[in-house]
Chains A and B, each alone.
Chain A
Amino acid sequence: MVEKIYSLHHSWLSSWLTQRTGCDQLAADLAQDTFVKLLKKNHIDEQHNSRAFLKTVANGLWIDHWRHRKIEEAWFERLKDLPEPATPSAEQSYLILETLYQIDSMLSKLPEKVATAFILSQVEGLKYRDIAVKLGVSERMVKKYMAKAMLECTLIEAQLPVFD
């Protein structure tokens, strides 16, 4: 079934992605990844044999790629400012990035202010009152954001079933 979908859709998907991303190589990688994702599904049927469906999957992968690049760039930029002994090794960097991708994927479903408040508190270690000032909201609101984000992350961690 996947072979059928591949032969029907692979070439227009690659062109569409090239147009969207502006980069041949990236488009080719994303197109491949789209079909790999399809292969991993438990069962595949006619509903997956559609442009709309494939575009959605490809678009999601592209957004993930973009997010991962942003994380990597900011990470490497900031590493330069760290004093020598604190610089992580290659393996450590890689593991940390993997963790950041996972956390980012959890947070990406939240509204921006909620996710920002959560990152500032849980990763950067700022106090609510400082976060409130940064975001231009009340401390009470920051607490609400924290609760909302914590709930979201915990639900994902608990791996409750999700609409795919």
Chain B
Amino acid sequence: MSAHSLKLNYPSSTKPIYMRTLSNTPNEIAALEQAAEWFAILHDEPNQESIDDWKTWLQSSDKNRTAWRQIEKTAKRFQDLRENKAQSAMAAGLLSAQQNSISRRELIIKSVLLGLVTTGVIGAGRQHPELIDKTMAFAADERTSIGAIREILLPDKTKLWLNTNSAVNIEYTDQRRLLKLVSGEIYIDTAKDIHRQFFAKTRHGLLQALGTEFNVRQFSNYSELSVFEGAVEIQLKNSNIKRVDAGGSVTFDENRFLATSQVSSTQSSWIQGLLVAENMPLSQLIEELRRHHHEHIFLASELENLRVMGTYPLTHLDKSLQLLGNALPIETERRFRWFINITAK
């Protein structure tokens, strides 16, 4: 196989801009073209014949060797990038900037599929539910982006709140009312409807509302239900049922109920855009803030267990950080636009 079999034909209008301006080193450019073609051949399982042909090409002139060195230098740049563990995050970034003409749904599905292939998940037969959620989230009926909190009035007068980065599908029929939580967290205040029962569904189970206000959040491996008024009945795939009354909170996965606890009314304060901390570890509070903001927030590990009291505005990061700085022995630094570093004072 020779480099000529891959002949790159450039009609003059599509020649790279550099080629159009350089009329004095056509030989150098030609050698680079060939070197690039050889690179493409050698990069992915070349056979012995190709390798031998390449060596012949390389040895045949200084020009070729110089060109090859330049190609190698560029290739090294990318090789260095690949050594980093965050390859698929980098690829996602680069691909995202490329694809501005594809519809959003396609783009997300593409990048999710890429993610699944690179991490070898499909082959290993494991599920990576969060990535699948993100795909579905963009196709969902109602969604929020990072940092947004929305209140929606449904046709039957049920009130629905979506927390940051969440998505629901609304499936109301004549027979029943159903909300599918595709990703994230919702708060529901059901309206009375004597003809239709109200259900909410997560990946892990089906919830039936019995005249109620409740909060449900879907994590990748489990869901969490908190009931504030009335009662909710959870039904799992294997027909295990559990009733949760106001003041109670339960986590569950597809197969079993995991933990129960008490819930205080302040845990629903996100619907007013507030986070009420009652002896909350700082790591948990910061994690909540992260959900609502794009910024990358680093918290020094020795600060993780500091206890926090008070009310914090979820949607105003600077204000929250200022309040934290007043209350705790911490130092907040925002050196770059997207980075916040929290360290001990």
Q: Interface of A with B (CB < 8 Å)?
A: 67-68, 70-79, 81-82, 86, 88-90, 93-94, 96-97, 99-100, 103-104, 107-109, 112, 115-116, 119-128, 130, 134, 140, 143-144, 146-148, 150-158, 160-163
CA distance A75 to B111 in the complex (A): 12
Report the Cα distance A70→B82, complex, angstroms: 20
Sample 8 A-B pairs with CB under 8 A, ordered by A number. A70-B93, A76-B296, A78-B93, A94-B339, A99-B81, A109-B16, A124-B114, A154-B35
Q: Which of A104, A124, A160 is B22 in contact with, Cβ under 8 Å?
A: A160
User: Chain A residue with minimal CB distance to B5?
Assistant: A140
User: Quick one: which of B92, B113, B117, B336 contacts A74, CB cutoff 8 A?
Assistant: B92
Assembled-state Cα–Cα distance A5/B32 (Å): 42
Interface majority SS (helix, strand, loop, mixed), chain A: helix
In whole Å, how far is A128's beta carbon from the nearest beta carbon of chain B? 4
Q: Are A94 and B336 in contact (CB under 8 A)?
A: yes
CB-CB under 8 A from A82, the residues of chain B are 85-86, 89
* A72 and B337 alpha carbons, distance in the complex (Å): 11
B contacts with A, residue count (CB < 8 A): 65
Contact of B39 among A124, A146, A157 (CB under 8 A): A146
**Which B residues contact A (CB, under 8 angstroms)?**
6, 8, 16-22, 32-33, 35-37, 39-41, 43-45, 70-71, 73-75, 77-78, 81-82, 84-101, 110-111, 113-115, 117-118, 130-131, 134, 294, 296, 298, 335-336, 338-339, 341
The answer on a CB contact under 8 Å between A71 and B36 is no
Q: Which residues of B contact A76 (CB under 8 A)?
A: 294, 296, 338
Closest 6 CB pairs of A and B: A78-B89, A146-B40, A151-B36, A74-B96, A71-B93, A147-B40
Known A90-B339, A155-B18, A162-B17: A81·B93 in contact at CB below 8 Å: no
Given contact pairs A104-B94, A120-B91, A146-B39, A157 touches B82 in the complex (Cβ within 8 A): no
Q: Are A100 and B90 in contact (CB-based, < 8 A)?
A: yes
Residues B98 and A119 in contact, CB atoms below 8 Å apart = yes
Residue contact A151 to B16, C-beta cutoff 8 Å: yes
Check A79 against B96 for contact (C-beta < 8 Å): no
